[in-house]
Amino acid sequence: MPLITYREAIRHALAEELERDKNVVVLGEEVAQFHGAYKVTEGLLEKFGPKRIVDTPISEAGFIGMGVGASMLGIRPVMELMFWSFYSVAFDQILNNAANVRYMSGGLINCPIVIRGPANGGTNVGATHSHTPENVLANHPGVKVVVPSTPYDAKGLLKSAIRDNDPVFFLENTILYGDKGEVPTDEYLIPLGLADVKREGTDLTIVTYGRCVLHSLAAAEQLQKEHNISVEVVDLRSIRPLDIDTVLASVAKTHRVLIVEEQKPFSSVGSQLAFMIQKESFDELDGPIHRLTTVDAPAIYSPPVEIEQLPNPQRVIKAALEALA
Amino acid sequence: MAQIIDMPKLSDTMTVGTLVKWLKNEGDVVKSGDMLAEVETDKATMELESFFDGTLLKQFVPAGGQVEIGAPLAAIGKPGEKVDAPAGKPAAAAPAAKPAAPASAPAPAAVTAPTPAPVAAPAAIAPSPSPLAPATVGRVRISPLARKLAEEKGLDYSRVKGSGPHGRIVREDILAAAKNPPAPASAPAAAAPKSAAPKADTWPWRSVMDKSPVQADSVAPLSNMRATIARRLVESKTTIPHFYLEIEVDTAPLSTLRNNLNAGLTKDGVRLSVNDFVLKACAAALRAVPAVNSSWDATGIKYHSAAHVSFAVAIDDGLITPVIKDTDKKTVFQISAEAKDLGKRAKDKKLAPAEFTGGTFCVSNLGMMGITRFSAIINPPNSAILAVGTSVKVPVVKDGAIVIGERLALTLSCDHRVVDGALGAKFLNALRDHLENPALLLL
C-alpha cells in the first residue's frame, strides 16, 4: 500500500468525489489559485476548472451561507475554513440554518454540505486561532461531526461525508497534514459513526480521537514497555454519530477508562462520553472515569508552555497511571 | 446559650460509641425529633435524636470518631452563636486509620477536633479495652465492578481490604479474596451441610487441590462489637464459677407435634422451629424452678419476677442476644413470630437497645448447624445458659428391646454462686418434662 500524507489523502478524497459526482464543488478562501492555505486543494483547479473549484471573499458568514443555500438546491459543496476557529463568524449559517433545515422543512429539504478545515492547537497561532469546536458543533441535533486521526481514516471518512445528505463538519489538524500513512489505491469508504480500535489492550481503555490518538498510541507503547500495562486505544473518528458500543465493549474488557481529548475540559466531548460510559457500564467500572484535556485556559502563545497545555504522550502516561490507581 | 449534646448511653454495656455518620451538617436548622447522626454502640447502629430546636452550630467529632459516654458531640443554638467545646470530657479523635466514612461526610482532615487541649494523653482517654479502631460498619468503598463480582461469587466484601485510593475495594481485591476467602465470622446455617458426603458440584468447602496460602497475613481492627464480646466473655469466664450439667431429651413427641402443626398450618404462615419450643419450655421450666431465674449481685442474689428468655443470634462479626419479653406469657406461635423478627433485625443491626437487654435466661442453639452437644459461656448477669444441640436418631432401649429413638442433648452452664448442682438438675428435669410432653407447651 502506498504511503501518502494526511494532506494528500484528503486531496485524493476530494478529487475522487469531484470526478464521481458533477454536483460536488469546492469553495473557500484561496482554495483555487493559491491551492489552499495548507495546500490541501493543490491541483484541483487545474483539473476541475474554476466553476467547481471556487475562491471566495474573506467572509465566512457570506460564503458558508452561500454553500448552505446551494446544498439545499442539490449541489454538494465542500467548504474549506482556513481555520475552524472562524466557524463562529458563520455560527448562524452553520448551526442555526444548516443544522435545522431538514427538520424545519419536514424532511423535504436536505442540506448535504461538508465544511472542512483544521481545528487544533499546538502551532503557536494564539487563542483566537486554536479552537477545537467539535463539542459545540456536536451539541446540535441534525449535524454530523468527524475528526480523523490518520490518512487512511481521513480519506475514507471524507468520501462518506461528501455522500452524506446531512451537514457534516470535518475537523482536520494542521500538525497532521504532513503525517504519512498507508492508504490503498482502490476505492474505499469508512462509514460515519464507527469507532476504530487502534490498539488492543487489557488493562486500560483510552477513548480518544484526532491527534490525541497518536499521543495515546505513543503513551501506550511506553506504558507497555516501562510499566507492563496493556492499553487499548479506541479512536472515535466520529463524534456524532457516536459509536458508544465500541467504547462500552472495550470498557467491559479493561474496566478502567481514560478519555484523552484536545478540548477544554468544561462541557467537552469527554464530559458527554463520561456520562454515557458510567450510565451504561456502571457495573463494569473498577474505578472512576479519568480524563485528560487541554489545560483550561485560552490557548497559550508561548511555544514551550503550549506543548504542556495540550495533551502529549508524557501527560497521557501520567493520567493513565492515575486512572489505574 | 448553646445546648451541648453529649454521647448518650445507648446500651447497658456501652462505654464508647462510634459516630458513624452525621445526618445534619454544621449550619443546618434542626428541630426537636430530627435525627442528628448515626451512632454505633457495641450492639447496634442507632440514630441520635435532637431534643432541641435551633441551628447545628458545631460538630465536635468527625465521622468515624469514637466517643466516650458523656463526651460532647455537637452544639445546637442560635445561628452565629459562638461555641466552645466544654472542657473536661474531650472526645477521642477520629482513628488514625481512615474510617469507612461515607463519601458525603467531611474529610477527617478538614474537621476541627474539639478545641480544648485534652488533659490526658489519648491512651488515657480510652475508657475501656475498646481500641481506637475504625468502625467497620457504614459505607464500604468499593468499585461498581468489584461489588458486582463479589455478589456473583457470593463473597462478603465488607471483610475484604481495599487496595485502591482511600481503601476502595477494586477488582483485584475481590479476585484475590475469592481465591483465598477470609474466614467468615459465623458460617451461615445454610452453608453447613448435615452430611459431609461430597456430591458433584455441591462441595461447599475450598477445593483440596487448592495449594494457595491459607490466607493473607493481616490484622483486622477490632469492631466495637468484637471488643465487647471479648471483654464480656473474659469477664464471665474468669469471674463466674461455671459448671455444666447435661440431659438427654426424647424429642420424638416434639417432632410429631411440630410436624403436625407445621403441616396443618402452612397456609397460615406458621413454621415452628425446635428452638421456638425450647424457648417456650425454658420459660415454663423457669416458672417451675424460679430460683434459676436470678442474678448474682454483690449485695445478694436477685430473684426476678418475670421470665425474659434471650437467644443468641450469629451476625456478621459477632453475635447478639435479643430478648423475648415475658416469654412464659406468650404462646409458641407468638414466640416463633417474635424470634423470627428479632433474628432478622439483629442481622441487620437494627435492634433497639431495649430489645437486647434485660434477659433473665439465655439459650444458645447450634443444632441447626449439626452440633450434637456443647457448653456455652454464661451471659452476665444471667445465672445460667442453655446450650442446645441437634436431635439425633439413636438406638434406645424401650421395653427391653433396642429400637430407634430420637434424642436431643441439652447442656446447662450454671453460675455456682447462685445455682448449685441439685438446683440446676431440677431445672433440667423440668425442662425435659415439658419438652417430652410438648402438648403442654401449647396451652
In order, the DSSP letters of B349-382 are T---GGGSS--SEEEEE-GGGT---------TT-
Give a yes or no: residue A264 inside a domain: yes
User: Do A237 and A152 share a structural domain?
Assistant: no
Q: Which residue has the higher pLDDT, A56 or B164?
A: A56
User: Do A132 and A18 share a structural domain?
Assistant: yes
- Give the gap in angstroms from C-alpha B146 to the nearest C-alpha of chain A: 6
User: Do A243 and A100 share a structural domain?
Assistant: no
User: Do A146 and A38 share a structural domain?
Assistant: yes
B57-74 average pLDDT score: 85
For residue B172, the chain A residue with the least C-alpha distance is A286
- What is the C-alpha separation between A177 and B136, in angstroms, rounded? 58
- Residue A41 CB neighbour total at 10 angstroms: 25
Give a yes or no: residue A258 inside a domain: yes
Q: Which residues of B touch A (CB under 8 A)?
A: 143-148, 164-165, 168, 170-171
- Give the gap in angstroms from C-alpha A215 to the nearest C-alpha of chain B: 27
State whether the Cα torsion B65-B67-B71-B77 is positive or negative. positive
Q: What pLDDT is stored for residue B187 in this prediction?
A: 42
Give a yes or no: residue A166 inside a domain: yes
- What is the C-alpha separation between A161 and A148, in angstroms, rounded? 12
User: Do A149 and A218 share a structural domain?
Assistant: no
Residue B416 annotated to the active site: yes
Expressed as residue numbers, the domain containing A139 is: 3-182
Residues of chain A above pLDDT 90, percent: 99
Q: What pLDDT is stored for residue B201 in this prediction?
A: 63
Structural domains in chain B, sorted by start:
3-125 (2.40.50.100), 137-220 (4.10.320.10), 240-442 (3.30.559.10)
| Residue pointed to by grid coordinates 433545515 | A101
C-beta of residue B95 within 8 angstroms of C-beta of residue B222: no
> B328: which residues sit within 8 A by CB, 6+ positions away?
B283, B284, B286, B287, B306, B307
B306-321 average pLDDT score: 91
- Give the gap in angstroms from C-alpha B213 to the nearest C-alpha of chain A: 26
- CB distance A287–B170 less than 8 Å? yes
- CB distance A282–B165 less than 8 Å? no
**How many structural domains comprise chain A?**
2
- Give the gap in angstroms from C-alpha B152 to the nearest C-alpha of chain A: 12
B367-383 average pLDDT score: 94
DSSP for B226-270, written as a single string: HHHHHHHHHHHHHHS-EEEEEEEEE-HHHHHHHHHHHHHTGGGT-
**How does residue A14 score in pLDDT terms, banded at 50, 70 and 90?**
very high
Q: What pLDDT is stored for residue B85 in this prediction?
A: 61
Name which of B144, B164, B168 is nearest A283 (Cβ-Cβ): B144
The CATH number given to whatever domain includes residue A60 is 3.40.50.970
Top-ranked range on mean pLDDT: pick from A7-11, B20-24, B88-92, B155-159: A7-11
- Give the gap in angstroms from C-alpha A281 to the nearest C-alpha of chain B: 9
A277-285 average pLDDT score: 94
pLDDT of B197 higher than 70: no
Q: What pLDDT is stored for residue B124 in this prediction?
A: 36
Residues of A whose CB is below 8 A from B168: 287
For residue A252, the chain B residue with the least C-alpha distance is B145
pLDDT of B198 higher than 80: no
pLDDT digits (tens, 9 = 90+) for A67-104: 999 999 999 999 999 999 999 999 999 999 999 999 99
Q: What is the DSSP letter of A82?
A: S
Residues of B whose CB is below 8 A from A325: 164-165
For residue A282, the chain B residue with the least C-alpha distance is B144
Final residue before a domain boundary, out of A154, A182, A210: A182
**How does residue B96 score in pLDDT terms, banded at 50, 70 and 90?**
very low
Any idea which of A81-90, B2-11, B240-249, B300-309 has the lowest mean pLDDT?
B2-11
Q: What pLDDT is stored for residue B134 in this prediction?
A: 41
Q: What pLDDT is stored for residue B50 in this prediction?
A: 85
User: Do A141 and A112 share a structural domain?
Assistant: yes
pLDDT digits (tens, 9 = 90+) for A100-126: 999 999 999 999 999 999 999 999 999
pLDDT of B97 higher than 60: no
The CATH number given to whatever domain includes residue A217 is 3.40.50.920
- CB distance A283–B143 less than 8 Å? no
Q: What pLDDT is stored for residue B158 in this prediction?
A: 82
- A171: β partners: A117
Residues of A whose CB is below 8 A from B145: 255, 283-286
A42-59 average pLDDT score: 97
Name the catalytic one among B166, B242, B304, B416. Answer: B416
- Give the gap in angstroms from C-alpha A121 to the nearest C-alpha of chain B: 34
Q: Which residue has the higher pLDDT, B384 or B58?
A: B384
B390-401 average pLDDT score: 91
Residues of B whose CB is below 8 A from A284: 144-145
pLDDT of B75 higher than 60: yes
Give a yes or no: residue A290 inside a domain: yes
Q: Which residues of A touch B (CB under 8 A)?
A: 255, 282-287, 325
User: Do A167 and A36 share a structural domain?
Assistant: yes
B348-369 average pLDDT score: 91
Residues of B whose CB is below 8 A from A255: 145, 171
User: Do A106 and A138 share a structural domain?
Assistant: yes
Residues of chain B above pLDDT 90, percent: 42
Give the best residue of A251, A284, A285, A286 to mutate against chain B (max B CB count within 10 A): A286
pLDDT of B11 higher than 80: no
User: Do A166 and A97 share a structural domain?
Assistant: yes
**How does residue A134 score in pLDDT terms, banded at 50, 70 and 90?**
very high
Q: What pLDDT is stored for residue B128 in this prediction?
A: 37
Give a yes or no: residue A191 inside a domain: no
- What is the C-alpha separation between B140 and B12, in angstroms, rounded? 28
pLDDT digits (tens, 9 = 90+) for B260-302: 999 988 888 888 999 999 999 999 999 999 999 999 998 999 9
Final residue before a domain boundary, out of A182, A217, A251: A182
Give a yes or no: residue A291 inside a domain: yes
**How much is the mean pLDDT over chain A?**
97
**Half-sphere exposure (CA, 13 Å, Cβ side) for A135?**
16
C-beta of residue A195 within 8 angstroms of C-beta of residue A147: no
Residues of chain B above pLDDT 70, percent: 83
Q: What pLDDT is stored for residue A321 in this prediction?
A: 96
Any idea which of A57-66, B118-127, B379-388, B434-443 has the lowest mean pLDDT?
B118-127
Residues of A whose CB is below 8 A from B148: 283
Final residue before a domain boundary, out of A129, A151, A182: A182
- CB distance B171–A285 less than 8 Å? no
Name which of A282, A285, A325 is nearest B165 (Cβ-Cβ): A325
User: Do A156 and A112 share a structural domain?
Assistant: yes
pLDDT of B200 higher than 60: no
| Residue pointed to by grid coordinates 410429631 | B256
- CB distance A286–B145 less than 8 Å? yes
- Give the gap in angstroms from C-alpha A249 to the nearest C-alpha of chain B: 15
> Which of helix, strand or coil describes residue A77?
strand
Q: What pLDDT is stored for residue B181 in this prediction?
A: 61
Q: What pLDDT is stored for residue B195 in this prediction?
A: 52
Grid cell for residue B14: 456501652
Name which of A283, A287, A325 is nearest B148 (Cβ-Cβ): A283
- CB distance B145–A325 less than 8 Å? no
> What ipTM, to 2 d.p.?
0.72
pLDDT of B133 higher than 80: no
User: Do A159 and A228 share a structural domain?
Assistant: no
Any idea which of A251-265, A267-281, B196-210, B335-349 has the lowest mean pLDDT?
B196-210
- CB distance B170–A286 less than 8 Å? yes
E-only strand ranges, chain A: 3-5, 24-28, 53-55, 76-80, 114-118, 144-146, 168-172, 180-182, 196-199, 204-208, 231-235, 238-240, 257-260, 290-292
User: Do A207 and A154 share a structural domain?
Assistant: no
- CB distance A287–B147 less than 8 Å? no
**How does residue B109 score in pLDDT terms, banded at 50, 70 and 90?**
very low
Any idea which of A283-287, A312-316, B37-41, B121-125 has the lowest mean pLDDT?
B121-125
Q: What pLDDT is stored for residue B227 in this prediction?
A: 86
Give a yes or no: residue A43 inside a domain: yes
Name the catalytic one among A129, A131, A215, A290. Answer: A129
B266: left (phi over 0), alpha (psi -120 to 50) or beta: alpha
**How much is the mean pLDDT over chain B?**
82
- CB distance B148–A286 less than 8 Å? no
Name which of B145, B164, B168 is nearest A255 (Cβ-Cβ): B145
- CB distance B164–A287 less than 8 Å? yes
pLDDT of B347 higher than 80: yes
Give the best residue of B145, B148, B172 to mutate against chain A (max A CB count within 10 A): B145
Under 8 Å CB pairs connecting chains A and B tally to 25
